[in-house]
Structure 1
Amino acid sequence: MAFCAPTLPVSPLCRTLASISPGGFFCSYARFLGLPVWRSPFSALVSRADWRVKSKRWSRGRMLFSLSDELNSSNGSPVDGHVKMRKIVEHILLLRAKEGLTDVEEKDMLDHLYTTQYQMSGIIAISLGRMEYPNPDNFTHAVYMRFQRKEDVAKFYSNSFYARILKEHVTPYCYESISVYYESEVEDDIIPIFRRGEDYNYGVECMFLISVSKTASAYAVEDALASLQNIILDFDSNIVQATQGRNLNITDSEYTHAAVIRFPSIEALKIFTESPGYKDIWKLKFHPITTKVLLVHFVVDPVGTELM
């Protein structure tokens, strides 16, 4: 049987919620601090010295950059450099809603999960929503959260407020869930860290969950993940932000690794998943070392609005 890369049917309509804050405030604050303001990671990077990223590549757990000062130099000679990164922790919660869940019940569940960011410390970004299309694991809803550090995730789970939200507003509507969280890095700038501004107001939140075989070598796993990162970098103009890492919550999930990719649109998601390079890495790199792969996504729309 031929191996196919994980893909999803896509639709312009998904009812979702997302974290929205006034992007102008973050841009103004960043400029006040003298920080570079990036509209999109990597693809539009401009430093105070007016250096641009000429090329980039993921290799053995490190992001390698070649910078060019062509804006200020007539010869445009490349200069080796790097972008300062900040560690963060990505958290994914997948839910299986009970059959017959009403719109009112769904809104109650998602609203209360969404407002945890205002009641609990440590959450620096959040989005959540419903997947319209079925998936092999029959998950119906996803919640994405970003924390500053691993300790914040532990505090989150032990918080009585979160336990009450689950008991009163999630468990009555869902019969099962799994959670995954992993440590990754993003550019050390207020906009990519907090995922605020116009690039994050809309788009598609895409989540990859991967179960690596116990017999897979460490080198093969690293090579596959680096290949995924490189294809992401090749499509950086169609990607707002991407992270990946090893699941630190193995006891609650069979998945060993995960990735979160924010696309600016459904069209960008399709361009990425239908590309030959994407299909090749899943066939050549991931298929030999994985026992299971799950790809889910939901469309992000500002809170308080509805896609028509």
Structure 2
Amino acid sequence: MGVLLLSLTMPHSFPIYPVISSTVYGGHGNGIMGRNRFTVISCANGNRQRERNLLRRREVVEHICLLKANKNISEDEEKEMLDYLYTSQYQMRGMVAISLGQISGEAKEDYTHAVFMRFGSKEDLAKLYENPPYLQVMKKHVLPYCHGLMNVDYESEVEDDILHIFRKGEEYNYGVEFVLLIAFVEAAIGEAVEDALMSLQELTEEHPSLILQCTQGSNFNSKTSEEYTHGAVMRFRSSEAFEIFLSSSRYRDVWESKLQPIARKTLAIHFCVDPVGTEIM
């Protein structure tokens, strides 16, 4: 069956995929031009295998570590720190994915670098904080170059597909990792928060041509749960996809109507991913 190209002025239901083109994306990276303008591809058969995978979910545990590197850190020291953090995965059973990098754009709350790790269970994550090789990496190759850090941990689900669980394959070789931390007001914890996060999750799932994967959940790290109650990680396919999504009216509407009214504070950072930081050897 053929593929039908349409220009629409309002959102449609799945499966409809926005396309990065000159129609919607400026040549200089200025985001979406106009409100709700999309050029889309509508496939009658849809991506049926992806739909089946979305129905089958696998529980995972996400770990986010934000670092505050010293201002006088050298390029060699930074490379050493990131290399040791990346290779620490080989000393830990239960870690299924990792990405890390220098935070792009203006530093927020003085954080300069971010590390994302995925584990198969909470028990596997607990071993991270007790793992001797990892503790040695932190003591000898990370903390000497940093003056602060924060850890956020949460449980989530991903589609039950080995490439998406382990974040392997060509699609995960490049892209942008977007980390969003939110401290919801105590009175909103419950139905209001669940509704807001569901709206965000549904929005990301509407745009598979921009976003490879999104996870989110309640922070159960006892040392930081009061500072940030929830976390989310989105893997974008490219810098252009990242800019298109965050500048879109749909994301802005969800943010302003669902998230912002019940958030006490937020922290949003992103970093670029290259092949070194995505593959589990």
Aligned mates of 1:163, 1:108 — CA distance in 2: 16
Aligned to 2:129, what secondary structure does the other structure show?
helix
Total equivalences in the alignment = 234
Unpaired runs of at least 5, structure 1:
1-10, 13-42, 54-66, 68-80
Q: Which residue is equivalent to 1:137?
A: 109
Q: Which residue is equivalent to 1:267?
A: 240
RMSD, matched Cα: 2.1
Structure 1 residue 162 corresponds to structure 2 residue 144? no
Q: 1:192 pairs with 132, 142, 164, which one? A: 164
Aligned mates of 1:124, 1:171 — CA distance in 2: 24
Letter in 1 for 2:90: Y
Higher relative contact order (CA 8 A, sep 6+): 1
How far residue 287 of structure 1 moved from its aligned partner, in angstroms, is 1.5
Letter in 1 for 2:261: P
Q: 1:295 pairs with 257, 268, 276, which one? A: 268
Aligned mates of 2:171, 2:250 — CA distance in 1: 25
Aligned mates of 1:262, 1:121 — CA distance in 2: 23
Equivalent runs, 1:144-223 vs 2, <5 Å: 144-223=116-195
How far residue 175 of structure 1 moved from its aligned partner, in angstroms, is 0.4
How far residue 280 of structure 1 moved from its aligned partner, in angstroms, is 1.1
Q: 2:76 pairs with 104, 109, 114, which one? A: 104
How far residue 250 of structure 1 moved from its aligned partner, in angstroms, is 3.7
Q: 2:218 pairs with 219, 222, 246, which one? A: 246
Aligned mates of 1:247, 1:217 — CA distance in 2: 12
Q: Is the 8 A contact 2:104 2:272 kept in 1?
A: no
Aligned mates of 1:160, 1:251 — CA distance in 2: 21
Q: Which residue is equivalent to 1:225?
A: 197
How far residue 248 of structure 1 moved from its aligned partner, in angstroms, is 1.1
Structure 1 residue 276 corresponds to structure 2 residue 245? no
Letter in 2 for 1:93: C
Equivalent runs, 1:116-135 vs 2, <5 Å: 116-135=88-107
Q: Which residue is equivalent to 1:92?
A: 64
Q: Deviations over 1:56-75 (max 9, x none)?
A: xxxxxxxxxxx8xxxxxxxx
Q: Is the 8 A contact 1:250 1:256 kept in 2?
A: no
Report the TM-score, using the length of structure 1 for normalisation: 0.72
Q: 1:217 to 1:141 in 2, by over 3 A?
A: closer
Aligned to 1:283, what secondary structure does the other structure show?
helix
Moved over 3 A (4+): 43-47
Q: 1:105 to 1:225 in 2, by over 3 A?
A: same
Q: Which residue is equivalent to 2:228?
A: 255
Q: 1:44 to 1:117 in 2, by over 3 A?
A: farther
Q: Which residue is equivalent to 1:3?
A: none
How far residue 201 of structure 1 moved from its aligned partner, in angstroms, is 0.5
Q: 1:216 to 1:200 in 2, by over 3 A?
A: same
How far residue 217 of structure 1 moved from its aligned partner, in angstroms, is 4.4
How far residue 82 of structure 1 moved from its aligned partner, in angstroms, is 6.4
Q: Is the 8 A contact 1:205 1:262 kept in 2?
A: yes
How far residue 132 of structure 1 moved from its aligned partner, in angstroms, is 3.1
Q: Is the 8 A contact 1:88 1:149 kept in 2?
A: yes
Q: Deviations over 1:89-145 (max 9, x none)?
A: 111000000111100000010000000111111111001000132243121000000
How far residue 236 of structure 1 moved from its aligned partner, in angstroms, is 2.0
Q: Which residue is equivalent to 2:207?
A: 235
Q: Is the 8 A contact 1:130 1:140 kept in 2?
A: yes
Letter in 1 for 2:255: W
How far residue 44 of structure 1 moved from its aligned partner, in angstroms, is 7.1
Aligned mates of 2:162, 2:234 — CA distance in 1: 18
